[in-house]
């Protein structure tokens, strides 16, 4: 089967609101449960300028998802300050692409994508049209009426992306969004994401375990330590845009940067004790 992905003229037409600005200062998050106290992350300083694409990598359990949840306003820091500002002075909007099965099983793919717009009070016509556009964009136009359990994991993940884009957020928070995808789909969606980002000026904070993906997507890569997570390294990615895997792989800085991130991560994974 050949997949067709519509080009994203819809995105260029959309009102290009610049992205939100994120500043986190000395963020610490402690979870206390009957089983004990866990410090997920400690003294994290992290910022993202409007329109910046920041990638976070770090060993499992170092608090990456926790950080994103706090930026999304789903959880609050135990100490430290976290500021998300909108460039137009209004309330900043964000949406998150969670990892795992987070499509509502009781809504069709189309209604899932339209959900955020429904919550924001858009008219039925407008939100269904927009949902169809976005489903076309991620190559799922033929599946708009399917239930989530009827489509593959990769298709569900693409729908989640469309759902997050549908409310046209200033800040897009993505938690390992492409981790469960097959390689080809991942490439296509990475390209698509870059194009959307480029056209809309959204700020993106993106968590991944793939160093290559981090290098392909990010303006900056933030490397975190093992739990309690702190920032171990903050790297500016020098590759010119537009990027593709081929162009970045042949760039002179690719190897050294890859090694730098990998050696950092390896130290942390070993320190974290998972492989001892």
Query: Which positions touch ligand ATP (CB under 6 A)?
Result: 31, 33, 38, 40, 58, 60-66, 227
Q: Which does 42 bind (CB under 5 to 8 A by kind): Mg ion, another protein, ligand ATP, none?
A: none
- Residue partners of 201: CB distance under 8 A and separation at least 6: 16, 17, 18, 19, 50, 51
Cβ–Cβ under 8 Å, residues 54 and 222? yes
Site string for Mg ion, 64-83 (x = CB under 5 A): -x------------------
Q: Is 104 in the site for another protein (CB under 8 A)?
A: yes
Neighbouring residues of 273: CB distance < 8 A, sequence distance ≥ 6: 226
Q: Which is nearer to ligand ATP, 137 or 261 (CB)?
A: 261
| Distance in Å, CB of 164 to another protein, minimum | 8
Beta strands in 63-202 (DSSP E): 79-85, 94-97, 171-175
Which entry of Mg ion, ligand ATP, another protein, none binds 74, CB below 5 to 8 A by partner kind?
another protein
CA 15 to chain centre: 21
> Smallest gap, in angstroms, from Cβ of residue 22 to ligand ATP?
17
- Terminal CA-CA length for the chain: 45
Contact 180, 99 (CB under 8 A): yes
178 interface partner picked from another protein, ligand ATP, Mg ion, none, CB below 5 to 8 A per type: none
State in angstroms the smallest separation of the CB of 249 from another protein.
35
CB 243 within 8 A of CB 190: no
Q: Is 115 in the site for another protein (CB under 8 A)?
A: yes
Report the interface residues with another protein, using CB under 8 A.
Answer: 69, 72-74, 94-96, 98, 100-102, 104-107, 115-116, 118-120, 147-150, 163, 167
């Amino acid at each position: 089967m050949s997949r067709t992905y519509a080009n994203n003229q819809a995105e260029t037409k959309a009102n290009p609101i610049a992205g939100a600005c994120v500043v986190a200062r000395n963020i610490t998050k402690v979870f206390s449960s009957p089983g004990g106290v866990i410090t997920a992350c400690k003294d994290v300083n992290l910022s993202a300028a409007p329109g910046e694409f920041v990638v976070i990598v770090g060993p499992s359990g170092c608090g990456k998802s926790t950080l994103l949840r706090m930026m999304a306003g789903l959880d609050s820091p135990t100490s430290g300050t976290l500021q998300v500002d909108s460039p137009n002075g209004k309330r900043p909007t964000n949406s998150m692409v969670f990892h795992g099965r987070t499509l509502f099983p009781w809504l069709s793919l189309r209604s899932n994508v339209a959900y955020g717009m429904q919550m924001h009070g858009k008219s039925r016509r407008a939100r269904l049209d927009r949902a169809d556009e976005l489903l076309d964009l991620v190559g799922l136009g033929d599946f708009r009426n399917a239930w989530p359990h009827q489509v593959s994991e990769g298709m569900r993940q693409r729908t989640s992306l469309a759902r997050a884009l549908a409310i046209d957020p200033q800040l897009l928070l993505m938690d390992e969004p492409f981790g469960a995808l097959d390689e080809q789909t991942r490439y296509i969606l990475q390209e698509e994401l870059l194009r959307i980002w480029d056209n809309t000026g959204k700020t993106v904070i993106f968590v991944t375990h793939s160093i290559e993906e981090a290098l392909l997507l990010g303006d900056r890569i933030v490397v975190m330590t093992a739990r309690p997570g702190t920032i171990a390294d903050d790297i500016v990615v020098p590759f010119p845009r537009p990027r593709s895997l081929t162009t970045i792989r042949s760039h002179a800085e690719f190897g050294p940067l890859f090694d730098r991130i990998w050696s950092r991560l390896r130290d942390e994974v070993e320190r974290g004790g998972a492989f001892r």
